[in-house]
Amino acid sequence: MNPRMAAFRARLGGFAFGGDYNPEQWEPAVWKEDVQLMRRAGVNLVTLGVFAWASLEPEPGRFTPEWLDEVMDLLHDAGISVDLATPTMAPPVWLSHEHPEVLPVVEDGTTFGFGNRLHFDPTSVHYRSAAARITRMLAQRYSQHPALAMWHISNEYGPVAYTPSSAAAFRQWLRRRYGNLDGLNDAWYTRFWGQRYTSWEQVNPPELPRSWSNPTRRLDYQRFVSDALLECFVAERDIVREYRDDIPVLTNFMRFYRRADYWAWAAAEDAVALDIYPDPGQADSHVAAALNFDLMRSLRGEPWILMEQAASSVSQWKVNNVKRPGRMRLGSYQAIAHGADSVLYFQWRAGRGGHERFHSAMLPHSGTRARSWKEVEALGNELPRIAEALGSTSTAQVAVLFDWNAWWGLETTYGLPRNDFDYPKLTTEHYRPLLQAQHAVDLISFGSDLSRYRVVVVPNAYLISDGFAAALEEFVAGGGTLVCSFFSGVVDLANQVRQPAYPGALRRLIGAYIDEYWPAREGETFTVRSADGTLSTADWWQDSLHPETARVLGSYVGGDLDGRAAIVENTVGEGRVVYIGTRLAEAALRDTLLEAVSVAGVAPVVAGAPEHVEATRRVHDGAAYLFLLNHSDTGSATVALPAPGVDLLTGAAVAGSITLEPAGVVVVRMVAPQ
Amino acid sequence: MNPRMAAFRARLGGFAFGGDYNPEQWEPAVWKEDVQLMRRAGVNLVTLGVFAWASLEPEPGRFTPEWLDEVMDLLHDAGISVDLATPTMAPPVWLSHEHPEVLPVVEDGTTFGFGNRLHFDPTSVHYRSAAARITRMLAQRYSQHPALAMWHISNEYGPVAYTPSSAAAFRQWLRRRYGNLDGLNDAWYTRFWGQRYTSWEQVNPPELPRSWSNPTRRLDYQRFVSDALLECFVAERDIVREYRDDIPVLTNFMRFYRRADYWAWAAAEDAVALDIYPDPGQADSHVAAALNFDLMRSLRGEPWILMEQAASSVSQWKVNNVKRPGRMRLGSYQAIAHGADSVLYFQWRAGRGGHERFHSAMLPHSGTRARSWKEVEALGNELPRIAEALGSTSTAQVAVLFDWNAWWGLETTYGLPRNDFDYPKLTTEHYRPLLQAQHAVDLISFGSDLSRYRVVVVPNAYLISDGFAAALEEFVAGGGTLVCSFFSGVVDLANQVRQPAYPGALRRLIGAYIDEYWPAREGETFTVRSADGTLSTADWWQDSLHPETARVLGSYVGGDLDGRAAIVENTVGEGRVVYIGTRLAEAALRDTLLEAVSVAGVAPVVAGAPEHVEATRRVHDGAAYLFLLNHSDTGSATVALPAPGVDLLTGAAVAGSITLEPAGVVVVRMVAPQ
Amino acid sequence: MNPRMAAFRARLGGFAFGGDYNPEQWEPAVWKEDVQLMRRAGVNLVTLGVFAWASLEPEPGRFTPEWLDEVMDLLHDAGISVDLATPTMAPPVWLSHEHPEVLPVVEDGTTFGFGNRLHFDPTSVHYRSAAARITRMLAQRYSQHPALAMWHISNEYGPVAYTPSSAAAFRQWLRRRYGNLDGLNDAWYTRFWGQRYTSWEQVNPPELPRSWSNPTRRLDYQRFVSDALLECFVAERDIVREYRDDIPVLTNFMRFYRRADYWAWAAAEDAVALDIYPDPGQADSHVAAALNFDLMRSLRGEPWILMEQAASSVSQWKVNNVKRPGRMRLGSYQAIAHGADSVLYFQWRAGRGGHERFHSAMLPHSGTRARSWKEVEALGNELPRIAEALGSTSTAQVAVLFDWNAWWGLETTYGLPRNDFDYPKLTTEHYRPLLQAQHAVDLISFGSDLSRYRVVVVPNAYLISDGFAAALEEFVAGGGTLVCSFFSGVVDLANQVRQPAYPGALRRLIGAYIDEYWPAREGETFTVRSADGTLSTADWWQDSLHPETARVLGSYVGGDLDGRAAIVENTVGEGRVVYIGTRLAEAALRDTLLEAVSVAGVAPVVAGAPEHVEATRRVHDGAAYLFLLNHSDTGSATVALPAPGVDLLTGAAVAGSITLEPAGVVVVRMVAPQ
């Protein structure tokens, strides 16, 4: 476990509770009321300074941090710790006014102007030097401040810039990756459409139109963008570490964010942190939230920070629904259940103006009479009851692949048999039945160690690395179970079709070859008959599958591929592979996955619970905490406890079974951790 | 009443009838036929020169107006008056060829080129000086021409330009508005997202992307655009007035046009004029037309000019339906019923080429055999029968707010709880039941005098000025009735949330507070139970309403806000406030509005008429004219007359009740004006 | 018949079979396997070099054709002929790197970058001189190579460029067309909206926004673009002809391609060639395919080359469906049935990378085990059985207008009564019943000789030339039958409404005038009653039709035009005109067309066959070949033979009737050609 985070946890002594605090929006008189209300709500950590660059450096090199001194002191006096942000996501207007070339040129070729956020080209030397200057000022001035508990580097990294500066940086990145032009030409398959490069200067980011063009160039540009942004993080991280080395340094991630390879990023941080805004208007947005939470935990295999959530509605969508009563609490515990060590919000007090004036805050426009304030206040005062669970971790025997290279291959390169793949959606379809059956799940990347798992699930991994293919072979040979879905293993890291095709990298594991991919016609569905005669439906896709060593688990009835295999299993070494050549309907996919997990001998966290109940376990120091969450708004749920224990939120001893109210939460310290 | 317009009316002696005449499209031989046919059709006014700049000034400073002399004389000889246009909406190609910076840069960042219309930046010095030169030439040459009856300044003002020139003008406008940068920074709430400006040179129009950015900057840009266009109008108006001061000067407005605050514009004109093209493909387009007509009358509280309509179809939409038989006549009388003193068309003779070759004209491609020509000719010969009603005016006791600042706040600033507000649509929903119940209605702005009304209706006024809030308080205190709908009073003119929230400015009037706004989820509807047990439906929005001094008129049954107030009433001083916290279905909104109007003691123009009958009254000099219009295409309608009188179109004496044919029109001079 | 093509056919001795071959994607070892497999599949022609520019000229002026020498020799040794391409559709990166102004600026104003194809402005001098240089190199080096059988100039010409270079070329083109500015001003009707030009330098391509602007300027720009692209073709054609004059030179056309007037292009080529990719996901895509095939045959009245098709799926759409078993063979014979002398594919071997890596190839990723390979191989070995039909031609007595000027008028000029015309779709609606009734059909242009036809069908020809109007009059006067649909004859080549309107040019032929066009309201349908009382439905449009000399064949029942004529017939001289003033539903349009064809005495190719059977006839040298194709996937079809004969695919004698399996094909050499 990361020692800086251990110190952070020890300092707070419980779950972090609080949020982004932007005092520069208010007069000092308001600050006093803020701190009083923070204490009333149990706040112990606030993030300061995310948008404060213009307030801290109104002109280039002239600093005005006195107000921040005062706020830091005020918070410290109230016993509230500070997560201090470098404000480099929102450069002051003087930067782009003096150096217009700092502004990014976005996908459609237009220059993204001042007035929003993220208005910088991450490769710009002007941006980087200004960001370093303000970071150094903050580090010098506040590193030893007693309120300081954490460094928050910038915010939600994201901009892409199709600028000359970015083009030059891309060329440098390519030179490092490929060494010489032959390497680039081979990887990019420039022999097609006569695209061969003969000098580095000819090489540019994908140009307009950015869709129909060399698919490996597009893929490499995704990689480059992630790396270029990460360089910005690392540069600021290294500056603050110069001044003090025992404080965690991190940045905040976003839900299913395609532009940054969070596996690579997590390794450069002391902890993973997430901003998440599940849409209250979507009935099952908690499923994708759970996946994101498990992903955050998996990125470093450690507890993580829920850095931002909304007290109620947000303001970024066409229609911004509120969180119904109890749902904010439920979602907060859901994050903790999946390994979060904090409940933090954007933001503390609702601003009167600006684009996000209607983004709900802990303290809303309507003040302490508001329902949402009361729920925030209640949660802040309830969390200390589970403080002992802080820092606890989880283990899982089932892993689901979620890799950025796989994602980029499927969604950004075009020219596929179908071009409406939604990688997070497809992955969520595979994750949902595991969650609903109360299985503990890790997410993994191409580079993950598979040895700790019994089952690995690989959803629709069109692009797969040589290393991961080899790791899967070793994993299965050693007794593991692989469940893999259609259109996997097709291309390598250069987006080139593996030979012999198909399924390329996975042919031996699957024990079958595919001569053609048959995407479904408009409205077409398929019927699959299992060995036992059960009929299920599928849609969207068919591999034209020809078993070699594999056995047929299900085959098509009717349709163009009548009688052809739809699902096969194969034995390789000590292990088992189940391959699904179509997009099974929810029930059939659930049955297929749960059968594989069950055969592999993996048990759920609790047995026999209804689908709308989530169950996770966190353990440490010989203690185990069972989290039970009822996602139904209307029905209660009874769950058999695997062991007796104490319900930490009520203090009551519990045994046998326990009943959760709608949107109910139970946290049980179990007497006999399994 | 405006004296220049009084002179104009006296000159014509009846309703103006005619339209845009573009003789430069035709050989002189055609002009003679034109004038003959105009006389046959009863034309007494034509608008000349709207597109004639290139014909009048083929090269910079070289004028060729001889053809116009000839046309003016020809018209005068035929007894036809001229509304002479400054042709400054369509600059000749030489202007943008010599000065490409004259071309506007539009919303998406592209330069709007030559070949359409409105291809100029209204802040361009090149444009303004060229416009002044051609205007001065026309004023010098034609001010004393006997045919001249009116000046038509430019046409349908509209372009927005995101150019350096516009940016400079915007900065000047902001300096005038705010005096110093602190004022601007406070109003724009630049403390959020670190947007503080430290020099005027840093300030620009909203940059790409223009949606997600500082909402007050966007709001001020709307205000600036309206003012910048108005400056163009005023500059030309002042030139023509130098040469002759007794002729009305005006420009033509458009239906629900968001870019120009017509309340401010109307004050700078001698009369209001409207171009209107209700879509014949929309069954109830006459309702929005009526609202626009009432708005035109209300802008100056005087008769107005229907400057352009189509004889039948237009050519600007994907599908351009024709007006069914009788509908053009009905729509023409509808304008008159709402205060128009003219029936004018675009254009006299259908052109053979150009973008609008299929826009219907008074004289269509198919000539005098065409159905539409026959209807035009008949109307022109019928209108003199109602000449005595010319110049008459109306009064109303019910007013509906239609304010451009309210509109801009709701539609152009983003980040709201929902971002699909359609201000004209919502306002029309409130206006429709009043129209269908034959009530006389004025439209009002924030600055209007409320003392003449008994009922004021405020639909969804998210943004409200301090002055209007105070005026409403005074109005209600003095015995007025206010009906107000959800999400009103929230922000001030700087788009900043009023404290204490919500509903901010209207809290005392409404007698309730709102802790949260609940936009509806996809497909969600609500049930509202009135005190008397009636159930009605609603959708789209719920205020979470907490009555303080208010009484509940209707509350939710079921749903998230089960039992919570949906409609409340409050007594303030001598007056009454009805507040509607949701989007009521048509019937419930009608009942709520008509109950309030009825309780306030306001009577309709006629009693007991069916919904598809429109009834208005115009009065002057002791005479009252009752206009009855039947908007049904299939059913006749019988209407009880409030008094006996003479049907001016037939000359028959009428009393008791009168029956209107489908699409029928009756104009009754009533013997005993009420 | 074109002598160069006759020599080409003689050289091959049978139908050309093969496809695009891009050996530069592979190592020489693969080439050997390629040639072996080509021989196994019956390949006798490959297209080389389409994308090879960068491989042939890696730096400006430095040529590296040695690999091509080797491939040419290898192919020649295997008896495979070569269609050698000039690679000028895909310029090397050095061209646009050195001369960025070579890149086209597309419709939306953005510059189309390197990385796709067609990244050149066809008017660029840099492009043209580089294209000439590589063309000359190839011509010098390979003109006498024994493998060379055909020149393939560039590929799928298409780019449009809104560049300064294009603007200058457009002005030159306009000067040639109009001689002086008065001509241009008159044609463009610049008297409207004040658009008069006073110097050539003011004239530009349509500027942004390109939709709402002068419609004749847009129309002329379409013409100019087609001509500018054709100049590129002619320039390269003339270079290769300098070196050898007895080889056919052509380029490849695309399905319903609006930018190039293929009638003008076909005259500049030795043969017409088509690339076609009917969407296997569309049930009736074979109908539009048949129309395109007939169009290709009609363009020169000679056999043509099917230059590209897919062995199975393509990769350019969102969802790329495969061709079901047998459909590729059926589609190949369909092309031959309509006059093709070849079956060629894009491409020979599926590439491992690049945008089109999943575009199916003759030899797919999954190799010779793939179903699609087996079908390709079988077809290649089957085609020699019908070799005797090579070079045969067809005759038709029914012609359908398909003219690019009519297309441009209807779809690119805007401002019409409705602006969702889809010319290919409307034309296909008129073509479908003729195809389904097994009639032979030619497509014609405004310039075609009509004397060989008995029936001419003119679908929705809004724009019609004076010459074609005169030709139609002569055709009908001489006894021909004209069937014409609504909104025809309205404007002339300058897009100006003809006087007297409407229907302008066709008024005498139709014997009726139209006073108004009534596009349908949303969802509106019409009922038409024929003279015999039959009721049919129609939608989308109504002419308000007033018969003069015409007789009514069908009239509206109910609706706005109740009782008005919907379909009329007129007798002119010896001929007959049937005019359809609405969009008849499929059955009614079929009955109207087939009645007209039948009355005109035209017989189908076979009688009484079901709709899903296609029947065509090719003849030469006293022999007649009957092609029968069954487009049903599920039902067989029995067809009565007009004469006994020999089924060339089976060798069996056939007489009386013959039964086709689902997707079945029969080619009968008939003993007694009619």
Taking CA atoms, C659 is separated from A440, B642, C640, C664, in Å, by: 62, 82, 9, 9
pLDDT tens, residue by residue, A30-86: 999 999 999 999 999 999 999 999 999 999 999 999 999 999 999 999 999 999 999
Smallest Cα distance from C108 to chain B, Å: 9
Mark yes or no for CB contact C319/A500 under 8 Å.
no
**CB contacts, 8 Å: B112 with chain C:** 207-209
Which of chain B's residues have a Cβ under 8 Å away from the Cβ of C544? 371
Of A209, A216, A417, nearest to C313 by CB-CB distance is: A417
Among C516, C522, C548, pick the best mutation site for testing chain B contact (most B Cβ within 10 A). Answer: C516
**Scanning every residue of chain B, which has its alpha carbon at the shortest distance from the alpha carbon of A108?**
B108
| Distance of residue B546 Cα from the nearest chain C Cα, in angstroms | 44
* Range C613-671 has CATH code 2.60.40.1180: yes
Catalytic residue among C57, C236, C302, C308: C308
Taking 60 as the threshold, does the pLDDT of residue A673 lie above it? no
Please determine, for residue B674, whether its predicted confidence score (pLDDT) is greater than 70: no
**Residue A421: pLDDT over 70:** yes
Contact C355 A213 (CB under 8 A): yes
Q: Do A350 and B204 touch (CB under 8 A)?
A: no
Buried b (16+ CB within 10 A) or exposed e, C523-555: ebebbbbbeeeeebebebbbbbbbbeebebbbb
DSSP character for A70? H
Helical ranges in B179-214 per DSSP H: 181-188
**Domain ranges in chain A?**
165-215, 398-599, 613-671
The side-by-side arrangement of strands in the sheet containing C623-630 is C613-620, C623-630, C665-670, C645-647, C653-654
Q: Which residues of C touch B91 (CB under 8 A)?
A: 194
The sign one gets for the Cα dihedral C266, C271, C275, C276 is positive
Point out the residues of A that are catalytic.
156, 308
Please report which helix (H) or strand (E) contains residue A595, including its range.
Answer: helix A586-599
What chain C residue is nearest to A517 in terms of C-alpha separation?
Answer: C322
C495 at the B interface (CB within 8 A)? yes
**Gap between the terminal Cα atoms of chain A:** 22
Report whether B80 contacts B46 (CB < 8 A): yes
A200 lies within 8 A of chain B by CB: no
Question: β-strand B525-530 against B582-584: which pairing, if any?
Answer: unpaired
CA distance C160 to C119: 10
Return the structure tokens found at B553: 């008129």
Model confidence over B100-143: pLDDT tens digits?
Answer: 999 999 999 999 999 888 899 999 999 999 999 999 999 999 99
> At which residue do the structure tokens 């700087």 appear?
B494
**Which residues make beta-bridge pairs with C249?**
C151
For residue C211, give every residue at least 6 positions away whose Cβ sits within 8 Å of its Cβ, in sequence order, or none.
Answer: C414
pLDDT tens string A440-456: 999 999 999 999 999 99
Identify whether the C-beta of residue C330 lies closer than 8 Å to the C-beta of residue C631. Answer: yes
Query: In this predicted model, what pLDDT tens digit does every residue of B308-332 receive, in sequence order?
Result: 999 999 999 999 999 999 999 999 9
The alpha carbon of residue C395 is apart from the nearest alpha carbon of chain A, in Å, by 37
Closest C-chain CA to A421: C318
Residues 6+ apart with CB under 8 A from C153: C85, C86, C88, C233, C236, C237, C240, C249, C250, C251
**How much is the average pLDDT of A178-199?**
96
The partner residue sitting opposite A365, judged by closest CB among B192, B418, B497, is B497
* Gap between the Cα atoms of A162 and C567, Å rounded: 59
Compute CA distances A409 → A160, A423, A473, C113, whole Å: 18, 10, 22, 22
Q: Which residues of A touch C324 (CB under 8 A)?
A: 560
User: What tokens does B380 get?
Assistant: 């022109």
Nearest of A637, A617, A639 to residue A626 by alpha carbon:
A617
Size of interface A-C (CB pairs under 8 A): 170
- Closest CB to A116: pick one of B213, B417, B520: B213
3-state secondary structure of A542: strand
pLDDT of residue A297: 98
Residue A47: Cβ-neighbour burial (10 angstroms; 0-12, 13-18, 19+) = buried
Where do we find the tokens 């001598």?
B574
Q: Looking at residue A193, what is its pLDDT?
A: 93
Could you tell me which of C554, C579, C561, C555 has the C-alpha nearest to residue C524?
A: C561
Q: How far is A500 from chain C (nearest CA, A)?
A: 7
Sign of the alpha-carbon torsion through A578, A581, A587, A590: positive
Average pLDDT of chain B to the nearest whole number: 97
| pLDDT tens column, B255-279 | 999 999 999 999 999 999 999 999 9
Provide the total of helices (H) and of strands (E) in chain A, helices listed first.
18, 27
CA A165 remoteness from chain centre: 29
Q: What's the half-sphere exposure (Cβ side, CA atoms, 13 Å) at A428?
A: 17
A520 has a chain C CB within 8 A of its CB: yes
pLDDT of residue B141: 98
Question: Model confidence at C672, in pLDDT bands (50, 70, 90)?
Answer: low
Query: Does C33 touch chain B if contact means CB atoms closer than 8 Å?
Result: no
What is the SS3 string spanning B404-416?
A: HHHHHHHHCCCCC
Pick from C436, C143, C151: nearest CA to C305: C151
Q: What ipTM was reported for this prediction? A: 0.95
C23: nearest CA partner in chain A: A191
Interface of B with C in 251-310 (CB under 8 A): 281
Q: pTM of this prediction?
A: 0.97
Question: Any idea which fold C398-599 has?
Answer: Rossmann fold (3.40.50)
Average pLDDT (C34-40) is 98
- Would you call B319 and C193 a contact, using CB atoms and an 8 Å cutoff? no
| Number of C-beta neighbours around residue C466 at 10 A | 12
> For C629-664, how does the pLDDT look when each residue is reduced to its tens digit (9 = 90+)?
999 999 999 999 999 999 999 999 999 999 999 999
What is the model's pLDDT at position A674?
A: 47
DSSP C345-370: ES-SB--SSSTTTTS--SB-TTGGGS
Residue C438 has pLDDT above 50, yes or no: yes
Please report the residues numbered 371 through 390 in chain A whose beta carbons come closer than 8 angstroms to any beta carbon of chain B. 371-372
8 Å CB contact of B191 and A352:
no
Q: Between chain B and chain C, how many beta carbons pairs sit less than 8 Å apart?
A: 170
CB C406 within 8 A of CB C417: no
Q: Residue A209's pLDDT is what?
A: 86
**Nearest alpha-carbon partner for C331 in C274, C369, C371:** C274
Q: Under a CB-based contact definition with an 8 Å cutoff, are residues C545 and C585 in contact?
A: no
Pairwise CB contact (< 8 Å): B322 & C191: no
Any B CB within 8 A of A358 CB: yes
Do residue C516 and residue B55 have CB atoms under 8 angstroms apart?
no
Predicted confidence (pLDDT) at residue C346 exceeds the cutoff of 60: yes
Q: Strands C535-547 and C525-530, how do they pair?
A: antiparallel
pLDDT per residue as tens digits for the range C136-169: 999 999 999 999 999 999 999 998 899 999 999 9
Contact call for A97 and B208, based on CB within 8 A: no
Query: What pLDDT sits at residue C160?
Result: 87
Which structure tokens are listed for B183?
Answer: 């004022």
Cα(B117)–Cα(B94) distance, rounded to whole angstroms?
14
Looking at chain B, the whole-number percentage of residues with pLDDT higher than 70 is: 100
CA A142 from centre of chain: 30
Interface test with C, best of B27, B319, B323 (most C CBs within 10 A): B319
Q: How far apart are CA B58 and CA B87, in angstroms?
A: 13
- Mean pLDDT over C50-64 rounds to 98
Please give the pLDDT value at position C674: 47
Is B556:B562 a contact under the CB 8 Å cutoff? yes
Task: State residue B671's pLDDT score.
Answer: 78
In this prediction, residue C28 carries a pLDDT of 96
Distances A477 to A486, A597, B587, B593, C115 between C-alpha atoms, Å: 21, 17, 71, 76, 43
Residues A534-557: tens digit of each pLDDT? 999 999 999 999 999 999 999 999
Q: Indicate the residue of A108, A515, A521 with minimum beta-carbon distance to C281.
A: A521
- Cis preceding linkage at C65, omega within 30: no
Position B39 pLDDT exceeds 90: yes
Burial class (CB in 10 A: 0-12, 13-18, 19+), A373: buried
Which residues on chain C are in Cβ contact (under 8 Å) with A213?
A: 113, 115-116, 355
Instruction: Find which of A521, A522, A562 to mutate to test the C interface (most C CBs within 10 Å of its CB).
Output: A521
Distances (CA, A) of C326 to B452, C215, C358, C497, C663: 82, 46, 20, 50, 6
| Residue pLDDT, tens place only, A605-651 | 999 999 999 999 999 988 999 999 999 999 999 999 999 999 999 99
pLDDT band at A672 (very low <50, low <70, confident <90, very high): low
Is residue A653 a contact partner of residue A664, using CB atoms and an 8 Å limit? no
**Cα distances (angstroms) measured from residue B325 to each of A179, B154, B667, C522:** 77, 33, 20, 19
B355/C418 touch (CB, cutoff 8 Å), yes or no: no
Residue A515: list chain C partners with CB under 8 A: 364, 366, 369-372
Using DSSP bridges, classify how beta strands C512-519 and C535-547 pair: parallel, antiparallel or unpaired: antiparallel
